[in-house]
Structures are given as C-alpha cells and as structure tokens.
Amino acid sequence: MKARVLIADDASFMRQMIREIIEPEGYEVVGEATNGMEAVALYLELQPDLVTMDIVMPKRSGIEAVRGILAEDPRAQVVMCSALGQETLVMEALQAGAKNFIVKPFKPDAVISTLDRLVEKEDMVGA
C-alpha cells in the first residue's frame, strides 16, 4: 500500500473516477467527503496521508477546507482537483498550502504521477 487517501468531491461521479484510477496503483481510499466541512472533519478523524480536494464544493469550498486542514496539521498533503478556467483558484489554493493540483478531466497517468511524487517526497522527509 502506497498511501491512505481521502477523496473530497461533491460529485460521486468524480469520487468514483479518482478511486478507480488510484486503487489499482496501490493507494487505499480511506474516506470520501462530499463537502468542505466534511473534508476537514474526516481528515482529523482518519488522518490520511493524502487528500484529493475539489475546489468547488458546498458548505465550505475546497480552498477553505485546505486552510482548515492545514491549521490543524501543517504537514498535510493536499492535492487540488481543478477544472478548466480555475487557474486563479488553483493559485489561491497553492498559496493556502495545497501541495499540487490535478486537472479534470483526469488523465490517469498524471494523477498517479502527481500522487506518487508527493508520497516519495514525504518518504524522503520521513526517512
């Protein structure tokens, strides 16, 4: 198992798509959040190694959720899921402390390489 992942996206379609991309590559999906508030709560409860975070979500946006998670755990590894036309929001999320981003529609290779790089970096820091 490479890492434990929390998927945060309000669309079950997108959650399922990420799950089906990452699970065959050895990632374990430990939880799914459907809004930003739930993402923060599940992060604290499950303590995953990685979070994939949609930017546009109800209750608390993905960017607000990143801030909420990092306030509790400054070492949290959050990858934003962005779509066409969200460049400004992606920049804001990275400034808020997100580690990287993946773009919808997802390209499986790009998703895996992004997550792999973060896991490798974390392993090096932890070693």
Partner 1 sequence: MAKYRILFLEEAAEHLADMGKALLDLEKDTASAESIDVIFRMAHSIKSMAASVGYDPVMEVSHALEDRMETIRSAGCVPPGDSLSMLFRGLEGLEQMVAIVSETGEAPPERPDLVSELSVPIEAIPVVSMCVESESNAPPESLPEPPDAAELDVELAAVMAALEAEAGAKKKLLN
Interaction site with partner 1 (CB under 8 A): 10-14, 16-17, 56-58, 83-85, 104-106
Within 10 angstroms of residue 25's Cβ, the number of other Cβ atoms is: 12
Q: How far is the CB of 72 from partner 1 (least distance, A)?
A: 25
Instruction: Kindly tell me which of 76 and 89 has the beta carbon lying closer to partner 1.
Output: 89
Distance of CA 70 to the CA centre of its chain: 12
CA pair distance 86, 7, nearest whole angstrom: 19
Q: How far is the CB of 71 from partner 1 (least distance, A)?
A: 24
Cβ–Cβ < 8 Å for 77, 49: yes
Instruction: Kindly tell me which of 89 and 119 has the beta carbon lying closer to partner 1.
Output: 89
**100 token code pair:** 């990287």
Instruction: Kindly tell me which of 70 and 83 has the beta carbon lying closer to partner 1.
Output: 83
